[in-house]
Amino acid sequence: MFRNLSLLTKMTLVIALVLLSFFSLANYLDYRRETEQGIGNAVEKARLLSLGAIHAREYLSDHYERGHIVLSEQRFGLIPVVASGRIGQKAADDMGYRLRQVSNRFRNPDNAPDAYEKEGLSRLQGEAEREEAYDMTTIDGRPVLRYLRPFRAKLSCLQCHGRPENAPDFIHATYPAETDNAYYYQTGELIGAASIIIPMEQVQAGIRRAMRADMLQRIGIFAALVAALSLLTRKVVVRPLRRLAGVIREVIHTGQFHRKLTPGGKDEIGSLIATFDEMVDRLREQSAVLEESEHRFRVLTETARDAIVSFLANGQIILFNRQAEIIFDYRQGDILGVPVDRLIHEDCALLRGGVADYLRDNADTAISGLQRIVARRRDGSPLALEFSLSMAESDGRIFYTAILRPTTRDKVKNGPNPLS
Ligand code: HEC
């Protein structure tokens, strides 16, 4: 089907297809880059938030130790991990994020991990070197980035998360060793993680907006490119070819080699047109030469004083000159293509069996000398003739030419007597 489309349609289709795949690829790559960038930005924020909380915790515990500040039930909110968690949470709230400190062995049920956090914690437990883990997922159908930064137990943590008997009294009292799971940690062991949730809906909407603007711009460029290229194709390729085809058609119809084209340039199509013009020139010369020789031949046969009849081996008449018209009383147009036997009278002894049969058996004698026959005019009347025959070949076909002349006794009635 593609083959039958016009050149312009084909070119436009191909150009459009190439550009479309190019633009689609560019769009896809852009989308991927933008998405990665959006995720990267969110991860960076989560990192800052979690590091902020961790630094706050370290700062607090450092200064309590140095200032000999004793924690108590009344100062519960000042416990470094509690304070840093709550401060971090406030900062997160301001940004619409969520920050929690979670653990598989939680002390406070509020810090129990959800499914994602539980899975992430076991992942982090397996990889001691890992400093963070994040994924794009959804919560209630909304896109979110989930980020975990592990807390590994330091010596200072063991004070409240090590052996219960070493823990401060109020910790010991609030979280009895029998029911609490957050004791007996060893240094380096994973205690829990800061868990941050960043809603990505707005980020993604922003990406989509940017993509849409980009895409519109690209569609504009795409349409302009396709239009420009197809215009160029039309001007440079299609139109010159159409003109050339038109001239060729005209040459075929009229048989005249007069129309010529002016090449638009020196490109391939220009040289095609120049070659065509050259061919037309040659053909014109050749046809002039041919016409000239044909004209000479016609004058020669038409002015001959003898009748000349040529016919093919199957008897079909192919030439019938003016003098033959006169003596047989046939018009050239009526006799061409007719079997030559039509011109033989039934009384002719020599050719009674038909010209073809006679030639098959007596070609040599027929060609070597003058023969006498009785021919037949159009009205059926007999006509005594003598003739000489020659044989020739043209385009692989044998044809015979008979030169005929009425014998002196039988004069032509309605034409000049060639012998008088
Ligand atoms: C002064 C005692 C104390 C010290 C020191 C301490 N914690 Fe805790 N930790 C607690 C208490 C109390 C809770 C429960 C807080 C709450 O109810 O929100 C807790 C909770 C946690 C939680 C939340 C999960 C849970 O069990 O509810 C994590 C994670 C945690 N601590 C990690 C650490 C790390 C890591 C260190 C060392 C850098 C540390 N803690 C040092 C007392 C302490």
Q: Which of 61, 70, 72, 81 to mutate to test the pocket of ligand 1 (most atoms within 8 A of CB)?
A: 81
Q: Which of 72, 99, 107 to mutate to test the pocket of ligand 1 (most atoms within 8 A of CB)?
A: 107
- How many angstroms separate the CA atoms of 404 and 402, rounded? 6
- How many angstroms separate the CA atoms of 381 and 98, rounded? 126
Q: Given this model, what pLDDT does residue 416 score? A: 47
- Which atom of ligand 1 is least distant from the CA of 71? 1
- How many angstroms separate the CA atoms of 371 and 124, rounded? 123
Q: Ligand 1 center to residue 82 CA distance, Å?
A: 7
* High-pLDDT (> 90) share of the chain, %: 55
> What pLDDT digit, counting tens, does each position of 109-152 carry?
999 999 999 999 999 999 988 999 999 999 999 999 999 999 99
- How many angstroms separate the CA atoms of 86 and 53, rounded? 9
Question: With b meaning 16 or more CB within 10 Å and e meaning fewer, what string describes 229-259?
Answer: bbeebeeebbebeeebeebeeebeeeeebee
pLDDT at 291 over 70: yes
> What pLDDT digit, counting tens, does each position of 390-419 carry?
999 888 888 999 999 998 654 444 444 444
- How many angstroms separate the CA atoms of 92 and 198, rounded? 9
Question: Could you count the other beta carbons within 10 Å of the beta carbon of residue 415?
Answer: 15
